[in-house]
Amino acid sequence: MPIFDSRGVRIHYEDHGAGAPVMLVHGFGTSARRDWGDTGLIEFLATRYRVIAPDHRGHGRSDKPHERERYGMGNMSGDLAGLLDHLGIRRTLLAGYSMGSRISLELILGYPERIRAAVLGGFGGNGAMSVPGQRQRIAAMLAADDPDAPHAADHTNDLPRRFRRGVERPGNDLKALAACMGAEETMPDLSGRAPVAVPVLLLAGTRDRMVGDPHGMTPFFSDAQVLRLDGADHLSAPADRRFREAIAEYFARAPA
């Protein structure tokens, strides 16, 4: 089981195939195996690429600290950059989903020279997750010993409860996930800065209410395309055949 030590936090990763590298960055409350292995994307891409798929800290088979300060975009994108260094990978193709896209964006902003092209899936700026205080409400629900207690439940907003139901599965540590969610920053302020030069495909389902319309992200990139998967929502898109085909087709056109 390959493990990378990222400043004292052990990061598990999968490494499959051969060729030009691709890094896959999974979403919140899941894992590389669940998002990318069980959906067939690793196997699909590994026939042409070397596919690197880490488990975020707090997720999968990586370490799961409970301290909020061990998370945040700086730490989590730093894990990815450190893993690239550990593997001797100078530049890579990149694909993220949901929180994984937010972490991927942080990596792109910090290390644009290391990213050939990126797919940011399930990602936008005006969906349910952009509501002020939403992440803290979700973190409180995840951390609650009794999710039905009055201090934990918010009967006017069902999203925190749905988040908890969605991640209550064997192998998940709700205290670690609460720390991760509570530390996750909102979108960086991209206004007033030069457009990001890394080519990007914004890929989301037409029924994805979690993140909203990804078109609002396009002004921040000099080369951005948007592809909507008709009928797909936030949960179903990663397993959709059209999702992996869109990633493969986009990577096939990426600059060297």
**152 in Cβ contact with 140 (< 8 Å):** yes
Residue 176 lies in a domain: no
SS3 content of the chain, % helix, strand, coil (to 5): 40, 20, 40
For residue 225, give the H/E element and its range: strand 224-229
Which position has the token pair 């690429």? 49
Domain of residue 212, CATH code? 3.40.50.1820
State the residue range of the domain holding 12: 3-130+190-252
Q: Is 20 helix (H, G, I), strand (E, B) or coil?
A: coil
pTM (global) more than 0.75: yes
The 3 state secondary structure assigned to 133-153 is: CHHHHHHHHHHCCCCCCCCCC
pLDDT digits (tens, 9 = 90+) for 115-172: 999 999 999 876 677 777 888 899 999 999 877 665 555 555 688 888 899 999 889 9
For the cut 80, the answer to whether the pLDDT of residue 35 exceeds it is yes
Number of domains the chain contains:
1
> Which residues are CB-contacts of 115 (< 8 A; sequence separation ≥ 6)?
91, 92, 93, 94, 107, 108, 198
* DSSP structure class, residue 34: I
Residue 197 lies in a domain: yes
